[in-house]
Amino acid sequence: MNAADSKKIRLVMSLRKAGIRDTTVLSAIERVPRDHFIPEAMQDQAYEDIAVPIGLGQTISQPFVVAKMTEALELNDRHKVLEIGTGTGYQACVLSKICRRVYTIERHKPLHDIAENNFKELGLRNITTLCGDGMKGWPKIHGIEQAPFDRIIVTAAAREKPPEKLIEQLKVGGIMVAPVGESGKQMLKRYKKESADTYAISDIIPVRFVPLLPDIAKDGARDEIQEEVMA
């Protein structure tokens, strides 16, 4: 066993101790090389339970937050998942180990390109990427509609509630996990769509994310620094 494997096992054990119970989620975390998704200068922190900067004011999320969000989705291998906020692709990679297919949108073109390259290098064939406005959901491409989705995960915070378009793209019976609230007062929430116009909402944990913003970011533009923290 090499040093990276030992660190990965210690991370999984710490997540279990912190309350992550879903063994499929823990297995996915163990199988994903987190070091592949972070800058070379931060490699020594790859398997620490902390968020790590990836540029443009973004971070690769704290493993506990990734695990908690993934666990709340209640995934299985039949699900089609929409992710808003690809970053360099770590969360999408974790999802891809559990569900059937992941569709992921990133508004920063440089990060989108890095994620695409990461997925290619790791041989991940069940992830489809798009550089676009995640607030509008997944668009119809070449006349093909992918919505509705079984699950939706949002890695940026809406001010009051997730965009209506994302709620529309969630299948009845589906689950969306998203942070909601202003900076310093954000709560990770779980939305269970019960009918075309009703859904049950439950709180998961306090978090801190960048705001959910429209449009494709201008080259080199930074969002407010993303830093998920537990209250």
CA distance 221 to 201: 33
Q: Which residues pair with 16 in a beta bridge?
A: none
Based on the residue annotation, tell me whether 195 is a catalytic residue of this protein.
no
Active-site residue identified among 6, 14, 27, 61: 61
Q: Residue 29: which region, alpha, beta or left (left: phi > 0; alpha: psi -120 to 50)?
A: alpha
Helix%, strand%, coil% for the chain, nearest 5: 30, 30, 40
CA distance 113 to 107: 11
Q: Phi/psi zone of residue 76: left (φ > 0), alpha (ψ -120 to 50 degrees), beta?
A: beta
Q: Please, is 130 exposed, middle or buried when counting C-beta atoms within 10 Å of its C-beta (0-12, 13-18, 19+)?
A: middle
For residues 229 and 136, give the distance between their C-alpha atoms in angstroms, rounded to a whole number.
Answer: 27
Q: Which residues are catalytic?
A: 61
